[in-house]
Amino acid sequence: MTDSDSLNLTDLALESKDLDSIDAANEPFVGKLVSPELVTDDLPATTESQLDDSLVELPASTSHQSLETSAIEQPKSWFRRTVAWVSWCFRSLFCIASLIVLLAFLTAIPIVQLIAFGYLLRVAGNLTAGAKFRDALPHLQEAGQIGLALTALFLAALPTQLLAHEESVAEIVSPGSSQATLLRWLSIASSLLAIGYLMWAWARGGRLVHYLWPQPKRFFREGFRLKTWSSLPDRLWNFTTSLELPTLFWLGLRGAAGTLVWLIPAFIIITAFREGETGLAGLVGFLSLILLGISMLYLPMLQAHFAAENRLRALFDVRTIRRDFRHAPWAWLGAMICSMVILPIPLYLLKIEATPREVMWLPCLVFVAFILPARVAAGLALRRARHRAKVHGEPTGRWNTVSRWLVRLIMPAVVGVYLLFVYVSQYTSWDGYLTWVQQHAILIPVPFLSGT
């Protein structure tokens, strides 16, 4: 064997020994991408830190993104979507019903009824200003909360009323008996329990889940602390101020005053009819009727424009309203039919016999339920006209011209039908001649100026 062969065998032995030592050193790090012993000695500090960051942070972010992607890609089941849609429908209907009831109560109270009138104007004004339909009814969620609180109060008071009634009957049958005394104490205890239950639900927010589940553990943990109840007055005040009642009252007051200016021909008609059916009185009444008809052609839209601009002068801006009419004549016609014929005319049947003051809010409930969609229709018509004016500019073409003139020929008939029912109602309505002024289609939706 030569010296070169011996050297080659020695080199091979050393290489195999080095490989075995490397494999033995790497055995404790099976499953890792890179061995720390291999990178720590050879790489600089900055490279080592960057490598450590890549080994630690990159898999975490990748896994987080994959979880988000999988969560986004998983659609909700049809059952959950159906339940959510049904829940939303019931909640929306309850809020709208609560809103109508609250407006009916406000309408039945003199002076305060201007708040309800201002709210109706605000609805039309919001739509005219471009609000979406779901945003047209301001404070709808707050109305739902008030309606839920009143409903809970009514249900919580039922046991107390039942026990109080039984106690009064027992006192009549056997005065001073132990049964009457027991029922009296039970009614007191029931009343205190109901008050505590409702106060605890209102302290937590007054939502439906708060009425259904009282959270007893939380009550015993927080219910006896002063800070749990100390914030209630401030929260109640903030909730009340969020309703904007003074703003709605001021809007309704200005709207009613401006509308009465437009109804000056109606005052002249009342005076002419009361003077008797003479030739001069009949002529003055006929001319005033024509002027009132012209006023009614623009008044519903002028009120919506006034609410959108929040300026009293806008209630007399006929030129702007005529310009809006050019852009959407058929929408204007549909809104006028709803506001003057379909919705307000059936309500004249409720004005024949006066309602007792105690239940005045019941016919007001029907009036508000009919007039609210009429305000919505007026606002939608003006919104469509102004949207088309912004998108398409000045209307041109033969069809636009024909549409405008067709609607102009139909509009007097629509207003004429409405004034015909107003004329007949002066002989059938409880208020008599005052029905010319007390027009629920354009003023406060109340059936009578005063109950029996």
Cα–Cα distance for residue pair 361/108, rounded to 1 Å: 5
Q: Each residue of 12-27: pLDDT tens digit?
A: 444 444 444 444 444 4
Which tops the pLDDT comparison, 214 or 431?
214
User: Which contacts qualify for 426-430: CB closer than 8 Å, 24 or more apart?
Assistant: 426/273, 428/348, 428/351, 428/352, 429/348, 429/351, 429/352, 430/351, 430/352, 430/353, 430/354
Cα–Cα distance for residue pair 122/100, rounded to 1 Å: 15
Q: Each residue of 268-298: pLDDT tens digit?
A: 888 877 766 566 777 888 888 899 999 999 9
- Say if residue 62's pLDDT is above 50: no
DSSP-based helix, strand, coil % in the chain, nearest 5: 80, 0, 20
Q: Which residues contact 203 (CB under 8 A, 6 or more apart)?
A: 228, 229, 232
Find, among 216, 223, 167, the residue nearest to 190 by Cα.
167
> Mean pLDDT over all residues of the chain?
82
- Say if residue 239's pLDDT is above 80: yes
pTM of the model: 0.78
| From 1-10, 85-94, 172-181, 240-249, the region with the lowest mean pLDDT | 1-10
Cα–Cα distance for residue pair 249/256, rounded to 1 Å: 10
Alpha helices, H only, 41-77: 45-73
First vs last C-alpha separation in the chain = 136
- Say if residue 118's pLDDT is above 70: yes
Q: What angle do the packed helices 140-173 and 178-203 form, to 10 degrees?
A: 170
Instruction: Average the pLDDT over 338-345 and give the result.
Output: 93
- Say if residue 153's pLDDT is above 90: yes
| From 66-75, 187-196, 227-236, the region with the lowest mean pLDDT | 66-75
Cα–Cα distance for residue pair 349/438, rounded to 1 Å: 15
- Say if residue 200's pLDDT is above 60: yes
Q: What is the pLDDT of residue 276?
A: 60
Q: What is the pLDDT of residue 10?
A: 46
Instruction: Average the pLDDT over 229-258 and give the result.
Output: 93
Q: What is the pLDDT of residue 451?
A: 52
Which tops the pLDDT comparison, 41 or 260?
260
Q: What percent of the chain has pLDDT over 90?
A: 49
Could you give the C-alpha distances from 199 to 25, 211, 243, in angstroms and in order? 72, 10, 21
Cα–Cα distance for residue pair 310/415, rounded to 1 Å: 26
Q: What is the pLDDT of residue 75?
A: 63
- Say if residue 328's pLDDT is above 80: yes
Q: What angle do the packed helices 113-128 and 245-262 form, to 10 degrees?
A: 90
Instruction: Average the pLDDT over 416-433 and give the result.
Output: 88
